[in-house]
Amino acid sequence: MDSAISDARTPARTPLGATADQGFKIVVVGGFGVGKTTLVRSVSEIRPLNTEETMTQAGATVDDIRQVRGKSGTTVAFDFGRISLDARNVLYLFGAPGQERFWFLWDRLFSGTLGAVVLVDTRRIDDSWYAIDRLEHHGTPFIVACNDFGGPVRAGADVREALDLDPQVPLLDCDARSRESGKQVLITLVQHVKNRYADPSARTVLPRQEFV
């Protein structure tokens, strides 16, 4: 999952305008090696900014790489991408680092976030608990997307039970390498946020946008 593979029919990306009246911040979060960098890279309309560094043998004593043997690089701060909604509104995408030693960055990344995507590798569901816990602590709307690593498919009901998800939290499958699949994940998140704030029992004021 280290490289993004765009759909063959995806049109060439066009340059974005230099200004926007409104920016909406979305964070992609999850465990180590679940495909966060790949997802941001595949959907961004600009060349993404990333802080990916080569993994070394020294890091093997710090990070648990047993389930990500083919991974050669890792994010050490955050990934950043951008998608235009129209001429004046854009989505800013932040991919959070997955290793436990970088979790201290998450609270700052969550500040001012419109919503979040929790990316899950169903072979390692336990790695997603901390992300969900922190998002619930912040009161941040989120959805859960199960990334396809080519292994056995787990039923949605089993994943929902394992993560103890609220019934209102959307759960869907995705392929982080596919731009079309990634776009569907973001559309699902935006719709979820819209529905949440349309509910009179939910907060009626959107979070003030603050960016790292």
Query: In residues, how long is the chain?
Result: 212
pLDDT the model gives residue 212: 46
pLDDT at 57: 55
Distance between CA 37 and CA 4 in Å, rounded? 9
3-state secondary structure of 23: strand
**Cβ neighbour number for residue 64 with a 10 Å cutoff:** 14
Specify the residue for token string 């609220």.
Answer: 166
Q: Put the strands of the sheet holding 89-95 in their side by side order.
A: 79-84, 89-95, 22-30, 115-120, 142-147, 171-174
Q: Kindly give the pairing relationship between strand 73-75 and strand 52-54.
A: antiparallel
DSSP state of 139: T
Q: pLDDT 10s per residue in the chain (212 long)?
A: 444 444 444 445 555 455 667 888 999 999 888 888 899 999 999 887 665 655 445 455 554 555 555 544 555 456 889 898 888 888 899 988 866 666 667 777 778 889 999 999 988 888 888 889 888 988 999 999 999 887 667 788 899 999 999 999 999 999 999 999 999 999 999 999 999 888 766 554 444 444 44
3-class DSSP state for residue 186?
Answer: helix
Distance in angstroms (rounded) separating the CA atoms of residues 74 and 1: 11
pTM listed for this prediction: 0.72
